[in-house]
Structure 1
Amino acid sequence: MFRKILIANRGEIACRVIRTARRLGVATVAVYSDADRDALHVEMADEAIRIGPAEAAKSYLNIAAILDAAKASGAEAVHPGYGFLSENPAFVEAVEAAGLVFIGPSANAIRAMGLKDAAKALMEKAGVPVVPGYHGEKQDAAFLAGEADTIGYPVLIKARAGGGGKGMRRVERPADFGAALESARREAESAFGDGRVLVEKYMAKPRHIEVQVFGDKHGNVVHLFERDCSLQRRHQKVIEEAPAPGMTAEMRAAMGAAAVRAAAAIGYSGAGTVEFIADVSEGLRQDRFHFMEMNTRLQVEHPVTEAITGLDLVEWQLRVAAGEPLPKRQEELAINGWAFEARLYAENPARNFLPATGRLSVFDLPDGARIDSGVRAGDLITPFYDPMIAKVITQGSTRAEALAKLETALEQCRVGGVTTNAGFLARLCRLPAFAAGDVDTGVIGRAGETLLAEPDAPEEAFALAALSALGFLGAPADADPWGEIRSFRLWGEAAQTVFLDHGGAEHALRVTTLGQDRFRIERDGLATDIRLCVSNGRSLQVDLDGHVLPAMVHSERADIVVFFAGHSHAFARAEQASHHGEAAAGGDRLSAPMPGLVRIVSVEPGAHVAKGDPLVTMEAMKMELVLAAPRDGVVAAVPVAVGDQVAEGALLLALEPEEAA
């Protein structure tokens, strides 16, 4: 076993590797960019070395800087985590040329699976079924459009390099193919440095099922069963589970054998995932699953496999890289129970999953689940890296039990300072189709807008926000007995009015003190009576007409976040509230919804545009954002140009006033 390893990554996966290494007595070296100077993985590691500025291209993708850090620290091996350089064969060769061990597969194995078209040709030779489509070298747009016609719509355009849904577009009709192709190419070029694509048949009811494989340097390969990753939005995984619902022993054996053949065909060593797509329009069938790609690294969703097998896959990675044989043979592996993983992101589902940035003023996650995270309260979520802030993992003896635990855990996630998808994830758990195990990649799309919109704040949330704004929730400042009587009034009831901003609208709330810790809050003719049973300023127990419920309120400067009944609700004191409009919400202005790079400017001053026309395309937090015209009109000004790095709220385009247009 190694004495010291360097982790060429950041965030949650760096922390995950550090925990296992510490248990095995292996010292760890973290690397960090300027944006991550105070990050959790830096704090957890035995030592940490700066490798560059915030931009990933100058830090976490800087091979020379990472190798210099490894040499300076005396590390013997490099763990790549996932993302960044984890599937870069040139990085593997550079690590080995420096006399270090790469904790992962060989450069040749990564190359063999790194380009989807070449990988599929290789898999066909190995007897692994592949998705029908064009996987060749020709990249002429007209030729690819012709191939799409031959395959038959709908089709899926996919980047031949990389993964994670980047450079992927579903096309329903020939008229949309050209624009989708250009968009996919741009995103693929930005994400992977390779704009080439392949075109495949899009299945009507597909399930995304992947198989965890492991190989060693002695020629042994096993599979650790399957995971179902069908719950996706924009081709990115949202909730994963293991095993796959409805999987028969025969189907599992067939998929497992195909995955092992795929890994053995390239002499694979280390952790890898063979991803299949199954057409389930007639249920799971052994003749209806196809190879999509192989990820030559550890996957984000590996904890669900750990949960059902009782294994530590990072430990397996370290042992295999150190030259040891696989710890177990295939016949020694078994499934025990069920597990789910939900990816908690800093993003706004109601705004098309727009990534969110900001400081985590609150970060309280449940105790009854495994939480893999690389952040804590007070950390800044920046626009430089992926917006995932935690993984919430639950396990149960049955699928229903594990899913119920996940729903409860998500309802107990209390995150303030940035918008998250916690409520969206909890609502997914309650979808009847998902609860029944009837899953495919279209589940989220079919659920409609009700799945995306956060519920309106209840009157109880308004009431608690008002009490916080007036200081009635704070703990006494000292031991003075008069300080304990926070709401006492000598001459009876007293009333105050407070103005709160919620969702861009101002609300007036009248707060009447009824007695010790008893209040009536009135808004728009509705009255809410509350008695504070317990309050330390944040954690509360409130009595609502005899019904005692927990709540939590976090107040910081003008902002107030109320966590109540499984949801979070943001308020601000109206006199200090700052309103951040939607990307294209203002009638005459188009503003940047977050910091990012201007990729495309589609119009010039004087152009006539219709509502919904694409005007400016930005790139931010690994995704492409197309900003559309808020109304019909004439373009007055375009103060930005392609290549500009803009701040959140920056003016991108202005329309002539409606009367002038």
Structure 2
Amino acid sequence: MIQSLLIANRGEIACRIIRTAREIGVRTVAVYSDADAKALHVRMADEAMHIGPSPARESYLVGQKIIAAAMQSGADAIHPGYGFLSENADFAQAVIDAGLIWVGPKPDSIRAMGLKDAAKSLMAEAGVPVTPGYLGENQDPAFLAEQAATIGYPILIKAVAGGGGKGMRRVDRAEDFIDALESCKREAASSFGNDVVLLEKYILSPRHIEVQVFGDRHGNVVHLFERDCSLQRRHQKVIEEAPAPGMDKATREAVCGAAVRAAQAVNYEGAGTIEFIADASDGLRADRIWFMEMNTRLQVEHPVTEEITGQDLVEWQLRVASGEKLPKAQDELSINGWAIEARLYAEDPAKGFLPSVGRLEHFDLGVGGRIETGVGEGDAISSFYDPMIAKLIATGDDRAEAIAELAGILDEVEVWPVRTNAGFLFNALLDEDFGAARIDTAFIERKLVELVPDPEPDEDILRGAAAISVAVGNEESFGEMAGFRLNAAPNRSVALGSGGTFRTIALDDGKPLAAVSGFRDEERVVAFYEGQAYEFDRASRGSVGHGVADGAILAPMPGKVTSVDVSQGEKVAKGQRLLTLEAMKMEHGLIAPFDGVVAELNANAGGQVQVDALLARIEKEDA
């Protein structure tokens, strides 16, 4: 067995590998860049070696530095994780040439599956069904246009060396083919240094089905069943599950059997994934599922396979790399229950999923399910690396139970001030079509507008935040707070600001409060609900003398009135801006709480006001 393992990766996968290695008595060595000097994987490992500056191209992608760190630390093996150098055949060979154990497939196997066109030709020879298309060497644009016409539109142009959605174009009409081809080739050359493309029939109702395979050096190959990774955004997986919904026994045997033949065709050792594209327009059928590509490494989504089979795939990797036979034979493996995984990203869905970076001042992923993460509270999300914060995995006896469990986990996610996609994931899980397994790879694109949470809080969230604002202590949860009092005086109210607008909220009106959690400090309240984070400015730490019911508009904090937008006696509508207060280097609009008349106005543009000063009062017209 391997005695000392260097992990040529970072983040959650490095932490994941360290945990298994520790359980089986293997010493671990982490590597880190400048940005990761205090990272969780560095803190967890038995030893850590610095390998260079923050950019990956100067650290995690420099094979010589990683091998040198392994030699210096006394490691006898290198595990590449996924991404970075995990599918680099030259690096794998260099590790072996240095006298170290490579925890992965043989370099020749990586090369055989590295180019999509060559891999498909090899699979066809092995009797594995491949998507109809053109895989030849002739790259003349006119010739490729003829092939596309023969295949039939829509077609997909794919870079043979591509990945991650780059170098890929869908073409629906012959007249668009040449422009799409040129664009695809430019992107492929820029991203991969190789502009060769292949053509595939575009599947109109595609499901992404993949099969986990494992081989050893003794000639044994098994599968650990399938996963469904159809929920994707911009060709990046978002939610994965195992087994695939709607997969019957006969189809499973056909697809998994094809995956084993694919692995055997390249004398595969270690963990790998055979990816298939399925035409799900008439359900999952064996004659409508085709080989797409092979990933010659451990996959991000491997935990869902572990959960339904009860196997530790990282332990399998270490044992196989040490020369042992596979821990289980095919007839010893079975599916038990259901597992589903969501990728929690540091990104803001309300802003087009832009990455969100910074320090995790508040970080709590709850206690439910299986959490795979490489960060903790106080750590930073860096702009240098992938924005994935964690993988959240739930299990159940069936799919519905697993979905409900994962939705519950997402509901408890508390991350601040870094924004996340937790609310987006929560909405996707509870979507009616997702629950009914009416899914394909365009699911998110079709439903994007309805899945992105509204960044503006509704009334229930506002009331929950108000309760947090007046509660004693900074870490309170308010899920069961109907009739909430905390010794408050009658008509207890609090003013909170959101989006520059303050509102006064009455808490003792007998209405129940939503299950909002969160925290407060002197200046703000942050509330979490269904995975989404909401920030509010606090008006005052004490009671507000007047509430929304009497129409009193109070200064939420000391400041300067920059504009007065109404006059005394003027009719106003609910939500209409009355005046603007400048405080804390921001402008805060104060609005009418209901339709009425400006009965009192005590503010002048340019005037300074103190907290709780009565600036205006609105009366209902029938008062």
Query: Normalized against structure 2, the TM-score is what?
Result: 0.80
Distance 2:351 2:76 in 1: 46
Distance 1:175 1:353 in 2: 32
Residues 466 and 509, structure 1, Cα contact 8 Å, conserved in 2: no
Distance 1:5 1:285 in 2: 42
Provide the aligned length of Structure 1 versus Structure 2.
Answer: 535
Gaps spanning 5+ residues in structure 2: where? 475-484, 539-581, 588-623
- Alignment pair present for 1:529 and 2:502: no
Deviations 1:298-342 (A, max 9, x none): 000000000000000000000000000001111111110111011
Counterpart of 1:569 in structure 2 is: 534
CA shift, 1:424, in A, is: 1.1
Residues 558 and 577, structure 1, Cα contact 8 Å, conserved in 2: no
CA shift, 1:467, in A, is: 7.1
CA shift, 1:556, in A, is: 6.5
1:625-640 to 2 correspondences below 5 Å: none
CA shift, 1:486, in A, is: 9.8
Distance 1:450 1:128 in 2: 39
Residues 501 and 572, structure 1, Cα contact 8 Å, conserved in 2: yes
Structure 1 554/495 Cα, relative in aligned 2: closer, same or farther at 3 Å?
Answer: closer
CA shift, 1:572, in A, is: 5.0
Q: Secondary structure, in 3 states, of the residue corresponding to 2:287? A: coil
Distance 2:145 2:244 in 1: 35
Structure 1 561/125 Cα, relative in aligned 2: closer, same or farther at 3 Å?
Answer: same
Counterpart of 1:509 in structure 2 is: 503
Counterpart of 2:356 in structure 1 is: 356
Structure 1 22/115 Cα, relative in aligned 2: closer, same or farther at 3 Å?
Answer: same
Structure 1 126/144 Cα, relative in aligned 2: closer, same or farther at 3 Å?
Answer: same
Counterpart of 2:249 in structure 1 is: 249
Structure 1 576/174 Cα, relative in aligned 2: closer, same or farther at 3 Å?
Answer: farther
Counterpart of 1:73 in structure 2 is: 73
Distance 2:186 2:36 in 1: 28
Distance 1:561 1:185 in 2: 47
Aligned partner letter, 1:569:
Y
- Alignment pair present for 1:545 and 2:543: no
Aligned partner letter, 2:75:
A
Residues 155 and 199, structure 1, Cα contact 8 Å, conserved in 2: yes
Residues 112 and 119, structure 1, Cα contact 8 Å, conserved in 2: yes
CA shift, 1:151, in A, is: 2.4
Residues 426 and 530, structure 2, Cα contact 8 Å, conserved in 1: no
CA shift, 1:146, in A, is: 4.0
Residues 424 and 454, structure 1, Cα contact 8 Å, conserved in 2: no
Distance 1:29 1:294 in 2: 29
Q: Secondary structure, in 3 states, of the residue corresponding to 2:583? A: coil
Distance 1:418 1:150 in 2: 50
CA shift, 1:191, in A, is: 4.5
Counterpart of 1:172 in structure 2 is: 172
Residues 213 and 223, structure 1, Cα contact 8 Å, conserved in 2: yes
Distance 1:97 1:424 in 2: 46
Deviations 1:97-133 (A, max 9, x none): 1110100000000000000000000001101110111
Distance 1:245 1:85 in 2: 33
Q: Secondary structure, in 3 states, of the residue corresponding to 1:228? A: strand
Aligned partner letter, 1:66:
I
Q: Secondary structure, in 3 states, of the residue corresponding to 1:167? A: strand
Deviations 1:383-417 (A, max 9, x none): 21111111110111111111111111111111111
Gaps spanning 5+ residues in structure 1: where? 477-484, 511-520, 522-527, 531-543, 580-661
Distance 1:425 1:437 in 2: 16
Counterpart of 1:280 in structure 2 is: 280
Distance 2:491 2:69 in 1: 67
Aligned partner letter, 2:533:
S
Distance 1:183 1:558 in 2: 50
CA shift, 1:357, in A, is: 1.8
Question: What RMSD in Å do the two structures reach over aligned CA positions?
Answer: 2.6
Distance 1:342 1:433 in 2: 17
Aligned partner letter, 1:274:
I
Distance 1:474 1:139 in 2: 70
CA shift, 1:473, in A, is: 4.2
Larger radius of gyration: 2
Deviates more, 1:171-180 or 1:262-271: 171-180
Structure 1 382/217 Cα, relative in aligned 2: closer, same or farther at 3 Å?
Answer: same
Structure 1 198/350 Cα, relative in aligned 2: closer, same or farther at 3 Å?
Answer: farther
Distance 1:336 1:356 in 2: 37
Deviates more, 1:89-98 or 1:149-158: 149-158
1:394-433 to 2 correspondences below 5 Å: 394-433=394-433
Share of identical aligned residues, percent?
Answer: 59
Counterpart of 2:297 in structure 1 is: 297
Residues 168 and 235, structure 1, Cα contact 8 Å, conserved in 2: no
467, 473, 484: which one pairs with 1:475?
A: 473
CA shift, 1:488, in A, is: 7.6
